Amino acid sequence: MGYFAGIDVGGTKIYTVVINDAGTILGRAKIKVGQDTCFDTVLGLMNDCYHIAVNNASLAEDQIDAVGASAPASVDRRRGLILHAPNLEWKNVKFLAPMKATFQKPFFLDNDVNLGAFAEFHLGAGKNYHSIYAMFIGTGIGGGYIIDGKIIWGVNYTAGEVGHTVIKIGGQRCSCGNRGCLESVSAKSGMIKFMKKAVDEHGQTTLLEKLEPDWRISLGSSALRKAWKKHDLIVMQALKRSADGIGIAAANLISITGVEAIILGGGLIEELDDFYLPRIKKVMRKNTMANGAKGVGLRKARLGDDAVALGCAWFVRQPENQELLF
């Protein structure tokens, strides 16, 4: 019996799972990331979280065969670089030597959404398809493209970044520096800007002022749901705009790739799937030519908070991936 660990590194927390050969989660652990986000500090927290999860799985560390990890960034595996992780303020970080020294066993590091999509393909909502495209929608929008069980990275390891495809020429400035990206329209960050403009420049009002007074800085998906249920006009407009953008992006993905299914996850989908999925499906079908969306699955992700860490562990468990481990 083999055992494998997966470590999901985010901007605010580190989450680790330990699995067996069958993909059953035997132990979990979670640690907060503090204000010090330098790579060496976070690597120490990763190691702590890893050891807690191994202990929670009632295993010894020497029983773990390999470790998979993710970062909220594009990862250049050829050069051993984390290219840019804005939430952690990492840029061109060399990870190979310090991670080898820390874990002292085979390991793998990749973009978090790629590995979340990998898990959904093998163990979640994408199990019955040959190809899927997964979009995770929250503060930002990430994407991962899987064909026949393999992650599609692209020449420069940026394939799958659907959040930074342009859907509105000359549109709102995105966090990446470009204008009109899907993320600037359909993610919570883009929705906040849209609603702030409606309030500040057009004098509209919103229930978010009472439901979540700091909504201009940080906005929870549950507050959006409460406002939507109460028919808050600004929130309804922002949600419709968000869903329409995702529907157009889904149609584009179908037209370009011929993908068999699109899997939707992330905080907004978890909280508002009953709003998002029907509207996205309608827009997706309307914007593909010659019935291109016919028979294409549109599914809610199944793995929730486990997805990325589980994908990390499941990736290093696969015999065909051993040559990709460091």
* Domains delineated in the chain: 3-117+305-324 (3.30.420.40), 127-302 (3.30.420.40)
> CB neighbours of 295 closer than 8 A, spacing ≥ 6?
none
Report the pLDDT averaged over residues 304-323: 96
Q: Which segment of 74-83, 100-109, 115-124, 310-319 scores lowest on mean pLDDT?
A: 74-83
For 9-23, what is the mean pLDDT? Answer: 95
- Which residues neighbour 305 within 8 Å (Cβ) at sequence distance 6 or greater? 15
Residue 19 identity (one-letter amino acid): I
* 85 — pLDDT class (breaks 50, 70, 90): confident
Residue of 120, 18, 124 lying closest to 65 (CA atoms): 18
- Alpha-carbon separation of residue 127 from 122, 123, 149, 173 (angstroms): 5, 6, 9, 37
- 118: pLDDT confidence band, cut at 50, 70 and 90? very high
Residue 174 per-residue DSSP state:
P
Instruction: Please report, rounded to a whole number, the percentage of residues in the chain having pLDDT higher than 90.
Output: 89
On whether the CB atoms of residues 19 and 34 are closer than 8 A, the answer is no
pLDDT recorded at residue 139: 87
Residue 163's pLDDT band, with cuts at 50, 70 and 90, is: very high
Per-residue pLDDT averaged across 179-205, rounded?
94
Q: What's the burial of 183, exposed, middle or buried (CB within 10 Å: 0-12/13-18/19+)?
A: buried
